[in-house]
A and B are shown apart, each in its own frame.
Chain A
Amino acid sequence: MAHPTAPSLGKDLLALEDLTGEQILSILDTAETFKEISVRPIKKVPALRNRTIVNAFFENSTRTRVSFEFAEKRMGADTVSISTTGSSVQKGETLVDTARNLEAMGVDMVVIRHSSSGSARFLAERIPSNVVNAGDGKHEHPTQGLLDLLTIRDHRGPIDKLKVCIVGDVLHSRVARSNIWGLRRLGAQVAVCGPRTLLPPAIEEMGVTVFRRVEEAIEWADVLNVLRLQLERMTGGFIPSLREYNRVFGVTRARIESAPRNVLVLHPGPMNRGVEIDSDVADGPQSVILQQVTNGVAVRMAVLYLLSGHAPETAEAAKRGGDA
């Protein structure tokens, strides 16, 4: 009559590409129960009491950082946030220094956001603490992928029955990569749609369909995940103009209303209203954008809970550079 246990996630959460379908479902199921905590009179449980968590945000973020902080505080953890602008961070050297300093302070978990792809894994291999990737360059943003999965499942049921299209700037998007891995792992059909300049070459090799016209994508999909045009990452001329982009690829009310079925609309935020998504869609009945934000806290609570307590057995492996 032992208590049932959740499948182990290992020491770190670095990428959805690393997880099995069973592990992903375990996180979603745990998050489902954690939603209830956020509506209690006292929104706090002592599960991570005496744990110290550092939020190391080397790249600007408000939404994700606040979401992690809420999740940590609601689990009873002690938290510290450190941040610096991406431009002042020397890749590699600074992360090693950071890792050594964090080790010296005896932290239990590190949540890291960094502009360099692979930075979370780099850190995870050098410190015994649990590491959670809160976005590394153009690589992955696993907790965003998980909260998208949870929100989709809440509204449309089992993921393996669904067709999901990711629309927009896939090239610069870590959210897109996490979504593709997570959705595919759970058996969904996945497509992408965007200008050729904003789709990675050979994207089909990730097992996704490519739509060139947003109308076709909307006609096909049960769910649209609309991505932000990451103007700050665009160093070249990827699109003629924002107005042109909206005219050709924008998710507008007219396009949504012409769909044969009720399409669910997600957006990881922050939105460029009137560019990739129109306001009357973002605020419309098919939008679940604010619920994504709410689910983000529950998903992060679940991840922190499932990772916690794993460090002691794996610390030595982490120091040896293992990926336990």
Chain B
Amino acid sequence: MPEPQRRPIMDTAAVERALSRMAREVVERTGGTEGVVLVGIHRRGVDLAAWIAREIERTEGVAVPTGSLDITLYRDDLMTVGPRPVVGRSDIPPGGIDGRQVVIVDDVLYTGRTVRAALDELADYGRPSRTLLCVLVDREGRELPIQADIVGAKVPVPAGGRVEVRVPRTDGGALGVEVVDGGGGAG
């Protein structure tokens, strides 16, 4: 079986530039930092949300509350997969999300099913005044009518390929994005 071909799409500097721009866009789209909550989707979305929060604090001087969502229990294919995925912890910042502007952060937007699950889970925690979606990589292949508001990069991926986002805290190594030909991709 041939080795999958890996194509670097973004190096560390490119990802950091994208995240800096995304942080500025978050502030622009939400009209400042008042009432803004960043919520990363496990696992890499959490790391990226922390990166964006640090950047907002650096530029705006305000620490935006951040939380995390583990959508495992909200997956719509949970009954058909086995063995069971490991369940992570969801963590909503003190003060909750009622009436706030919640920015969901994830690494890759593909089918939209992960975001659908995240929206369902958020609804169990409260009712934000507005919810935005912020992803580092947007690839085609949506199976649900979901789109991102803030995008780091649009990456065309051939059928059967997948996007891999590497985040130091989760994966080790340097920040980066690669396309791997052959295999699926993040949802």
Contact with A along B72-115 (1 / 0, CB 8 A): 11100011111111111111000010000000000000000000
Residues of A within 8 A of B186 (CB): 1
Q: Within 8 Å of chain A (Cβ to Cβ): is B4? A: no
Q: Within 8 Å of chain B (Cβ to Cβ): is A36? A: yes
Q: Are A6 and B78 interface neighbours, CB within 8 A? A: no
| Cβ distance B109 to chain A, nearest Cβ, rounded Å | 15
Query: Of B80, B87, B89, B91, which is in contact with the most chain A CB atoms at under 10 Å from its CB?
Result: B87
Q: State the CA gap A37–B90 with chains docked (Å).
A: 9
Residues of A within 8 A of B120 (CB): 46
Q: State the CA gap A7–B85 with chains docked (Å).
A: 9
Q: Within 8 Å of chain B (Cβ to Cβ): is A33? A: yes
| Cβ distance A75 to chain B, nearest Cβ, rounded Å | 8
8 Å CB contact of B79 from A3, A4, A50: A50
9-residue interface stretch from A121-129, A187-195, A266-274, A306-314:
A306-314
Contact with B along A1-20 (1 / 0, CB 8 A): 10111111000000000000
Residues of B within 8 A of A7 (CB): 83
Q: State the CA gap A3–B41 with chains docked (Å).
A: 13
Q: Within 8 Å of chain B (Cβ to Cβ): is A116? A: no
8 Å CB contact of A306 from B70, B81, B84: B84
8 Å CB contact of B83 from A6, A34, A36, A42: A6
Q: Within 8 Å of chain B (Cβ to Cβ): is A40? A: yes
B123 (CB) vs chain A CBs: closest residue: A42
Q: Are A41 and B124 interface neighbours, CB within 8 A? A: yes
Residues of A within 8 A of B80 (CB): 309
Q: State the CA gap A50–B120 with chains docked (Å).
A: 17
Q: Within 8 Å of chain A (Cβ to Cβ): is B55? A: no
Kindly identify, within residues 302 to 320 of chain A, every residue whose CB is under 8 Å from any CB belonging to chain B.
305-306, 308-310, 313
8 Å CB contact of A309 from B72, B82, B86: B82
**Contact of A6 with B124 at beta-carbon distance under 8 Å, contacts A1-B186, A45-B74, A47-B78 already known:** no
Q: State the CA gap A305–B74 with chains docked (Å).
A: 12
**What are 24 A-B interface contacts by the 8 Å CB criterion?**
A1-B186, A6-B86, A7-B83, A8-B83, A30-B86, A32-B89, A33-B87, A33-B89, A34-B87, A36-B89, A40-B124, A40-B125, A41-B96, A41-B124, A41-B126, A42-B124, A45-B73, A46-B73, A46-B74, A46-B120, A47-B73, A51-B79, A305-B73, A309-B84
Q: Which 4 A-B pairs have the closest CB atoms?
A: A47-B73, A45-B73, A42-B124, A8-B83
Give me 14 other A-B pairs in contact (C-beta within 8 A), A45-B124, A308-B78 excluded. Answer: A1-B171, A1-B186, A5-B84, A6-B83, A7-B83, A8-B84, A33-B87, A36-B91, A44-B124, A45-B74, A47-B72, A305-B84, A308-B84, A309-B78
What is A's interface to B at a CB cutoff of 8 Å?
1, 3-8, 29-30, 32-34, 36-37, 40-42, 44-47, 50-51, 75, 305-306, 308-310, 313
